[in-house]
């Protein structure tokens, strides 16, 4: 039998699911994963990505549903989504993107009461037998390397 080692997955399996929101600043967000802080939203690397370069746009306010967002928050979220796509294209040269939100547990939201937009770069054939048969995703790059490659592009950014 072959074995696939994914030691970083243990963090996900054993992570405590407490009252603290992992996206709220000064509460639980991991500052080293933040790529950009805007006025209403921030860009953060997904700690458990589907692919390398998977980022999320998150409003600072603890908002559960899209209708609770203010126009300024929506506008900045869209601007940061477009800019994130540009950065990912420059850094990773993907063949396409999945962009969207999972609103509520029934829709697949892992964090169901702090709205966030996923931007997932995709390549032809990036979902292979490991994901389909073994339920395992192989991420070819660590978060530290993704952060090193992407952060300089966000630091020079104007929204």
Paired tokens of 106: 């029934």
DSSP string, 38-60: -SSEEEEE-SS-SSTT-EEEEES
Contacts 24+ apart (CB under 8 A), 8-17: 8/142, 9/48, 11/47, 12/47, 12/48
Mark whether 118 is an active-site residue.
no
Catalytic residue among 3, 54, 114, 116: 116
Catalytic residues: 116
């Amino acid at each position: 039998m072959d074995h696939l080692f994914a030691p970083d997955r243990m963090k996900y399996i054993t992570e405590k699911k407490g009252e603290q929101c992992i996206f709220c600043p000064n509460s639980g967000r991991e500052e080293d994963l933040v790529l950009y802080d805007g006025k209403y939203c921030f860009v953060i690397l997904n700690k458990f990505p589907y692919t390398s370069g998977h980022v999320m746009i998150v409003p600072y306010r603890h908002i559960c549903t899209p209708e609770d967002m203010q126009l300024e928050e929506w506008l900045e979220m869209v601007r940061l989504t477009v800019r994130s796509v540009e950065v990912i294209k420059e850094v990773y040269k993907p063949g396409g993107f999945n962009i969207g939100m999972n609103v509520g547990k029934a829709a697949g939201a892992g964090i169901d009461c702090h709205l966030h937009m996923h931007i997932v770069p995709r390549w032809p054939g990036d979902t292979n037998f490991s994901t389909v048969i073994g339920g395992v995703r192989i991420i070819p790059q660590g978060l530290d390397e993704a952060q090193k490659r992407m952060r300089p592009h966000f630091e020079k950014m104007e929204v």
